[in-house]
A and B are shown apart, each in its own frame.
Chain A
Amino acid sequence: MQNEIERPICHRAEDLVTYLYGEATIEEARDFSAHMQQCDACRAEFNVFNQVHESIVTWRNEALGPIASPLRAREDISDVGPEIVQHGRRLPAFAALREFFTVSPLWLRGATAFVGLLLCALLVFAVSQMWRQPTSNPGNEAKYTERQLREEVEKQVAERIANLNQTQAQNSASPGEKETTEPQPPNRDATYRNRPRTQPRARLTREERVQLAADLGLIQGREEETPFVLPDEPNQ
């Protein structure tokens, strides 16, 4: 620091402190800044006063930092309007993003923009696919064209007809053989033949057949006479 006696004094002392504490208007600041380029005294004092200011701020922060900060106190007093406070709350995220782009190198900005565009394109593609699927492919029918469907139907119909013919041929051959051994009423045979056979029926024992005959009233009693017993096989 220069000695006060050695340092000349400029007549713009008041402008100097106004400029130092940031209370000058834009024009005043521009004017005084231009003046400082020419005036050694003001330039020297500006630097010295800045050091004094920093020393006082050091003392203030050390002494009052944990107790009270003037800036914090001003916020608490709510001198500023609610709109400004709201803006202050929204600003950091936006400011951080802007700062990121400001300080980033050109290649990083380009890469970020490219990745952003790529993600947008993928998103648009995914959404369009999601909308197209339900309209163009509603069910399994879409697997066949009209011609393939007709061919498939014709093929399956032909197979069914062939199967039916084969079954009919077998059925017509077996009743003929049985009629030679033991003729049976056609209605009963047809009923029996058409009855669904999901599993082979268990053969009744003799006692069960006797019991069944008694239940049906075909015999008087078990002990009196030889009961009429149903044959093991219906055709016998």
Chain B
Amino acid sequence: METVTSDEQMVERALSGDPEAFGEIVRRWERRIFALAFGMLGREEDARDATQETFLAAFRNLRGFRGEAKVSSWLHRIAVNQCITRQRRAKVRSETALEDEAEKNAAVFALPADVSPARTAEHQEVSSAVRKAVGALPAELRQVVVMKEFEELTFQEISDALDVPLSTVKSRLYTALRQLQMRLQKFGEAKRS
């Protein structure tokens, strides 16, 4: 029976000089970290950069990993910080430019071929509205929504990753859902009018 090496064991091997060990950690987690970054930033290009920076930062701080938390929580925390840093930098850019790029970026992702054009247009409208609504959330709410909806982490996992109490995660998610509902409602009203 094949035994799966845990993330913590892989970190130990990386620290002891195994060049393949950290590569294995990247392989295991890059898609999930990318999903988190995409949910936080809303742009594929930014998400890729943030993912790359997350693993670079993790590699540099590998000796700082004390093993008290899970590797997954540690990586998520680094990724969230990277995304918040990038968003602060992005505020320098104009809102209009961001909107245009986001619209252009949305068209990159192709829907399945069997979806009708009307359905495709509807999906794109909903996606655009949700992306804007999530992007407009405060960072502390947005990260909880993304971790829950994009990565399907449990409340406990989010609590560990963000180092906040479980009840805080739940109340943040509740608040985020209410705000999203308000923004989507406005979008629906604007569309009808």
Contact A1 B188 (CB under 8 A): yes
Give the contacting residue for A68; candidates B35, B124, B171, B188; CB below 8 A.
Answer: B35
User: What size tier do the contact residues of chain A reach?
Assistant: 35 or more
Asked, given contacts A56-B145, A59-B131, whether A18 binds B181 with beta carbons under 8 Å apart, the answer is no
Known: A57-B149, A59-B127, A62-B109. A70 touches B35 (CB 8 A): yes
Partner of A66, one of B35, B109, B181: B109
Which residues of chain B come closer than 8 Å to A16, judged between CB atoms? Answer: 174
- Does A220 belong to the interface (CB within 8 Å)? no
**Considering the chains assembled together, what is the distance between the CA atoms of A29 and B180 in angstroms?**
25
Assess the B28–A76 pair: CB atoms within 8 A.
yes
Q: B32 and A68: CB pair below 8 A?
A: yes
CB-CB under 8 A from A124, the residues of chain B are: none
**B59 contacts the other chain (CB 8 A):** no
**Which of B11-19, B90-98, B150-158 is near enough to bind chain A?**
B150-158
A63 to chain B, nearest CB (A): 5
Given A1-B184, A56-B134, verify A70-B173 contact (CB < 8 Å). Answer: no
Is A23 interfacial (CB 8 A cutoff)?
yes
B174 and A4 contact, CB distance less than 8 A: no
Q: Is A144 in contact with chain B by the CB < 8 A criterion?
A: no
Interchain pairs with CB closer than 8 A, number: 106
Residue B55, interface by CB 8 Å: no
Do B149 and A56 touch across chains, with their CB atoms under 8 A apart? yes
Cross-chain contact B177 with A49 (CB below 8 angstroms)? yes
- Judged by a CB distance under 8 angstroms, whether B77 is at the interface is no
* B12-48 vs A, Cβ < 8 Å mask (1 yes, 0 no): 0000000000000000110110110011000010000
> Residue-by-residue, is A42-84 near B (CB-CB < 8 Å gives 1, otherwise 0)?
0000001101110111111011111110110110111000100
A64's partner among B38, B111, B154, B155 (CB-CB below 8 A) is B38
Contacts of A82 in B (CB 8 A): 1-2, 4
Question: Contact between B150 and A60 (Cβ–Cβ < 8 Å)?
Answer: yes
Please name all residues of chain A whose beta carbon is closer than 8 Å to the beta carbon of B171 when the two chains form the complex. 13-14
Q: Is the CB of B31 within 8 A of A18?
A: no
Q: How far is the CB of B163 from chain A (nearest CB, A)?
A: 19
Give complex CA distance A19, B38 in Å: 27
B167 close to chain A: CB less than 8 A: yes
Contact with A along B87-125 (1 / 0, CB 8 A): 000000000000000000010011100000000000110
The answer on a CB contact under 8 Å between A17 and B177 is: yes
Contact A55 B130 (CB under 8 A): yes
In whole angstroms, how far apart are the Cα atoms of A57 and B145 in the complex? 11
CB of B57 within 8 Å of the partner chain? no
State whether the Cβ of A21 lies closer than 8 Å to any Cβ in chain B: yes
A191 at the interface (CB under 8 A from B): no
Known: A13-B170, A60-B150, A63-B109. 9 other contacts (CB 8 A): A3-B182, A17-B174, A56-B149, A62-B109, A62-B124, A66-B110, A67-B34, A70-B151, A73-B35
Q: Which residues of A contact B (CB under 8 A)?
A: 1, 3-4, 13-14, 16-18, 21, 23, 48-49, 51-53, 55-60, 62-68, 70-71, 73-74, 76-78, 82
11 contacts between A and B (CB under 8 A): A17-B173, A21-B155, A51-B184, A56-B145, A56-B149, A58-B130, A67-B31, A68-B31, A70-B152, A77-B32, A82-B2
